[in-house]
Structure 1
Amino acid sequence: MKRFALLSLLALAPAAAAQSSTLSGTVTIWSWDVAAKALQSTVPGFNRKYPNVKVEVVDLGNQNVYDRGLAGCAAGGADLPDIYSIENNEAEVFWARFPNCFTDLNTLGADRLVRNFPAFKWTELTAGGKRFAMPWDSGPVVMFYRRDLYQQAGVNPASIRTWDDFIAAGRRVNTQFGGRVKMATIANGQDDEWFRMLANQNGCFYFDNAGQQVTVARPGCVTALNTIKRLYDANVVATGDWGGQITNVKAGRTASAMFGAWYEGTIRTNAPDQRGKWGVYLMPASRAGGPRASNLGGSALAIPASSRNKAAAYAFLEHALATAGGQATMLRSQGLVPSLLAATRDPYVAQPQPYWGNQRIWQTILGTLGDVPQARGTQYFQDARQIMIVTQADFLKGRYRTAQEALQDAARKISSATGLPVAR
């Protein structure tokens, strides 16, 4: 058996080498900001495998990529690149409106890679049995915290296992700093990101995983909204939009920040003077022994059906996204958090990070990937999100008697906006 396996590998080696030499031409990629820079960082490694393929990464900006993608698909694929960057929560807009605009990656070999990524990353990238994009980065949720502020308040992060523990710690922070420092900052009236993180943690989301029903009034979502109200009523959190949250971080007015792991770069670049003062721990659970994992954000790469160099484009996807080396390169260069499970074993992941007090934060962060529940945004994600932003704000103002009542109202509104029935 071993001899047969060896002969098989030897037979495949010339074929792989032949493909490396025969693939040629130009592969154009549309992306944005640090994501574009991260992709660019993988090009040298790709060209060592495929020296005859030129890769051009074009930074168009996030909104422009989305808008031009919609326009290109509406025009039958005209003027689209070979590889298209797409955020997970916007992906299903394309699959629903333009089912023929992108290549089914299963036809190029993606079906062999399914188990190499956590299941939750494929949920929004698959439709009608087709895989229209390959997982890229992810947003496993963790709690970032100020070591010095916790220590001054006598709070041990290792003792925070549930949201009850988090609230108790917040009261100690209030006492220590006279209310000038809060345990965290929650967007309220501008976003519902904390609701989404907590709902996902509890196995609930706006829609079911089949994308057929509105499920926002189910128990896990009720628990999520109740938790936010408890934090708010206990006066342990501040409220602020994206800019306000960063301002609080820079000014030392927040002792913690809960976000997808991509927020690591936001803290590090906006507060370079706080080097060594920050650490990371798992998000608290809703109950003792409950799940401490969730996801917020993340992107994927798709190949438009109009691409004239699909073989080379897919070869780039495999190198950048489906190898530990490719994903680790993007983590090192721009802090993009890998989706590939094998990347958790890359040596860089085990390295202490100086900014984070020499904590091995990537081991903590990536260790949660396999525990994240699946969630489906559907093509109606933004409709549901806008309704929940208002519902959450109104609930915190006392305009609903209970979280269940608030979410039942949100479910009816989402159903009206989308045409999907409310789950019973």
Structure 2
Amino acid sequence: MTSSHTPSAQSPTSKKTGLARALPSGRILILFIAIVTSVIVALTPSEKREGLPFWTMRIRHYEAYEPKVAEWNARHPEKRVDMQLLHQSAFERRMLSGFLSGTPVADLLEVSSIVSPKAFLGPLDQVGFLDLTDRLHAEGVYDQFNEASFAPYTSRGRIFGLPHDVHPVLLAYRADLVEAAGIDVSQIETWDDYFRVMAPLMADHDGDGRPDRYLLEFSEIRPTEIIILMLQNGGEIFDADDRPAFANARNARLLATLITWVTGPNRRCLEVPPSSASGHRQRLDGAVIGTIAPDWMLGHWKIENPGLSGKLKVMPLPAWERGGRRVSVAQGCMMGISKTSTQIDLAWELALYLYTSAEVAEELFATNCIISPVKALWDAPFYDQPDPFFGGQKIGRLYIDYAPQIPIRTASPYTTSAEQAISTAAMALRAYADRNENYDIDALVPEAQRLLEKAQSELILFMSRNTLWEE
């Protein structure tokens, strides 16, 4: 008996292709978009870049260099320069990965002192930057620059970068409020003098139980200012062999002193966001009198907070002791050459062209208040122009006068880690002071020393895990 079989009608699902059965509709759409965009990218002609690759990570520097690079390219069409602006994080990743893997990077690199020491880890012959030491001395270039400005770019006695700046740190203050109160800043030599002379400005005139103003913009949560003050005080961060050395008695006493500035019954400082709209509003309202100010910060205020014009002046940093240093130093930038460059002489020529140019120096000072590290330029008349933003002071001359006295900055690959460790110790010390209601400097010193030793031990342990550290 033959049985009959009638095929059942196929459902819509059974008609799907193998790919459709394998992938949901959403994934098919994503795959389609990926294919189309890949084709578009493949067919789009890539931008053809010509000339010596030159990377920078600072927009203000880029803008100052533009006319000089254009002039260079017009005069030397056979030696063109291709300048590119990169975000700092992208710059750091591309530069360090290129150095480690041997893949191409720019021939000329302008890099911040936050990033550049990371390339110094390991044996000297493995550093990705060209060693400029012998060239600097043979051509007499070393003597043309402020000597201390080479320090952040020097590792084990070898120099890997040409300094872009000096970045002396002085003290900016609300001169309108200070002078209206009849306060004479010439009486100020030390930090103790500063807080004593400025104390009348902390009066509570509105009766809310809080000072109307604080005397200094400072907080233990901001490592940059802690390090600036530590360096001013002669505090050591790393020793000559690049080993952490910040757990010392001098730094412990400074840390204990700073904690009495930010908490307790004699609190004098206020944390103000450095670049936010709210921070600029607080400065404009006079919430703080003084600010620890590198030269570049003055230019930043001119752009970001023009309402401060005519209200500010600058004075030397108060010293930690009578006869002590009245200036400190902030992070900066260098120009380095990739060791794998095939155009080293051209890169060197361009670096000198930009960094010793009076026109570039004048532009950077006019727009950013940055003074050049080239000593021959310090007599330039534009540094002696009275600045109405700062009450007619000759700001350039004031910063230049203190430039030769800046302390030495560290060039350790672990500088940022050390700064964070010190700030963490400062935060723990504040918590200790508040918990025990102990705001006496002498009584806080032992705990400050303990916390610094703990932070230093942890950093050394962290560093020891990197096999290149001992090289």
Q: How high is the TM-score relative to the length of structure 2?
A: 0.77
Which runs of no fewer than 5 residues in structure 1 stay unpaired? 1-24
1:157 equivalent in structure 2: 185
1:181 equivalent in structure 2: 213
Count of aligned pairs: 393
- Report matched runs for 1:90-239 at 5 Å: 90-97=115-122, 99-106=126-133, 108-109=135-136, 112-175=140-203, 179-189=211-221, 191-208=222-239, 210-232=240-262, 233=264, 234-239=266-271
Instruction: Indicate whether 1:62 and 2:88 are aligned.
Output: yes
2:26 equivalent in structure 1: none
Cα 1:229/1:410, change in 2 over 3 Å:
same
Instruction: Indicate whether 1:39 and 2:65 are aligned.
Output: yes
1:81, CA displacement in angstroms?
A: 1.1
Deviations 1:4-63 (A, max 9, x none): xxxxxxxxxxxxxxxxxxxxx822221122122233244356568756532332111222
CA contact (8 A) 1:327 1:340 kept: no
Cα 1:219/1:340, change in 2 over 3 Å:
farther
1:292, CA displacement in angstroms?
A: 0.7
Q: Quick one: distance in 2 between partners of 1:133 and 1:239?
A: 34
CA contact (8 A) 1:170 1:236 kept: no
Q: 2:110 aligned to 85, 95, 104, which one? A: 85
Q: Quick one: distance in 2 between partners of 1:44 and 1:360?
A: 31
Q: Quick one: distance in 2 between partners of 1:38 and 1:335?
A: 12
Q: 1:370 aligned to 404, 407, 423, which one? A: 404
SS at match of 1:203: coil
SS at match of 1:291: coil
Q: Percent identity?
A: 20
1:142, CA displacement in angstroms?
A: 0.7
Instruction: Indicate whether 1:30 and 2:55 are aligned.
Output: yes
CA contact (8 A) 2:136 2:142 kept: no
Q: Quick one: distance in 2 between partners of 1:224 and 1:40?
A: 44
Greater alpha carbon shift after TM alignment, 381-390 vs 31-40: 31-40
1:80, CA displacement in angstroms?
A: 0.9
1:93, CA displacement in angstroms?
A: 1.1
Q: Quick one: distance in 2 between partners of 1:247 and 1:413?
A: 39
SS at match of 1:398: helix
2:43 equivalent in structure 1: none
Deviations 1:258-297 (A, max 9, x none): 1321111222122212211111111000011111111011
Instruction: Indicate whether 1:401 and 2:444 are aligned.
Output: yes
Which runs of no fewer than 5 residues in structure 2 stay unpaired? 1-49, 434-442, 466-471
Instruction: Indicate whether 1:316 and 2:350 are aligned.
Output: yes
Deviations 1:210-236 (A, max 9, x none): 243322123442343233123224222
CA contact (8 A) 1:35 1:334 kept: no
Cα 1:125/1:222, change in 2 over 3 Å:
same
1:6 equivalent in structure 2: none
Q: Quick one: distance in 2 between partners of 1:41 and 1:177?
A: 53
Q: Quick one: distance in 2 between partners of 1:373 and 1:30?
A: 28
Q: Quick one: distance in 2 between partners of 1:334 and 1:51?
A: 31
Deviations 1:391-410 (A, max 9, x none): 11121223593233332333
Deviations 1:68-99 (A, max 9, x none): 111221221x2311211211233221021583
Cα RMSD after superposing both structures: 2.5
1:379 equivalent in structure 2: 413
1:300, CA displacement in angstroms?
A: 0.3
